[in-house]
Amino acid sequence: MTNDGTINLEDELAHWPTDETGALAVQDRLRVHVRREQSGPEPGFAGTVVGVDVAYDDEHDLVAAAAVALDAVTLAVVEEATAVGRVSFPYVPGLLAFREIPTVVDALGRLSRTPDLVVCDGYGLAHPRRFGLASHLGVLTGLPTIGVAKNPFTSRYELPGAERGASSPLVDGSGAAGDGGDEVVGRALRTQKGVKPVFVSVGHRIDLDRACAHTLHLAPKYRIPETTRAADALCRRALAEARAD
């Protein structure tokens, strides 16, 4: 993996917060490093796009992460990796990244290639503090990231048209932008005709237009991108194996 030279990944992981106060402080400190001005790779670029996802077993204090690399043109799986760790942070809405990122970073580090783009099953800027999992992971690693979520969390939207590719603004009025007003934080995007939209937001080093274009390219048949579908299945298998052990 790479980072942009301003964040020391190892140091951040070594001082990972264990409570809400510490986590909020980390979000406030790192949020300023999110880069929105870069356009990111073009959809269908010659490279690899990696999906990451996690599965939990709180009863046994386990979290399993998967990183699945797909050929960005054909969407064929070219490599996959998993990691299993301990759940080290309580469940707090808006702070799920602190439960997931250490194990996700471990899984990413087990890939033999550096991702050209990472797709997260979650939020980037479409987050009450504009620093969801995709943004946090992107800032820590320096990788271009996008968030593709199954629900809008705290944001509002109008239902987009029924055709594939239709979209509408995802709006948040939590005041995280500093002015207390509404802010467009992503898009509700219809990936399949007549199917519920997904919710796309910028993570790091990519713009919203390309984030949505990538999402459509990665979802040729189903509502959810192939990256997330593959990572979801793999992390569930890894968790089942960890339970058995």
User: Are 44 and 73 contacting, i.e. CB atoms less than 8 angstroms apart?
Assistant: yes
- Is the pLDDT score of 241 beyond 90? yes
Mean pLDDT of 148-169: 96
Whether residue 86 is contained in a domain is answered as: yes
Q: Count structural domains, the chain.
A: 1
- The whole domain housing 101 covers 9-244
pLDDT band at 177; cut points 50, 70, 90 = very low
Residue 166 has pLDDT above 80, yes or no: yes
Number of H helices, E strands in the chain: 6, 8
- Burial of 99-118, coded b for 16+ CB within 10 Å and e otherwise, reads bbbbbbbbbbeebeeebbbb
Domain with residue 235: its CATH number is: 3.30.2170.10
Is 55 within the bounds of a domain?
Answer: yes
Mean pLDDT of the chain: 94
DSSP symbol at 41: P
- Give the Cα separation of 152 and 150 in Å (integer): 7
pLDDT band at 12 (very low <50, low <70, confident <90, very high): very high
Residue 203 has pLDDT above 50, yes or no: yes
Residue whose C-alpha is closest to residue 84's, from 68, 101, 67, 107: 107
26 within domain boundaries: yes
Residue 54 lies in a domain: yes
Asked if residue 204 is part of any domain, the answer here is: yes
Angstrom distance (rounded) from CA 105 to CA 126: 21
Q: 198-204 and 183-189 as β-strands: parallel, antiparallel, unpaired? A: antiparallel
| Closest C-alpha among 21, 41, 2, 9 to residue 218 | 41
> pLDDT class for 174, splitting at 50, 70, 90?
low
Domain-embedded: residue 1: no
> Is 3 within the bounds of a domain?
no
Q: How confident is the model over 68-88, as a mean pLDDT?
A: 96
Question: Is residue 2 a part of any domain in this protein?
Answer: no
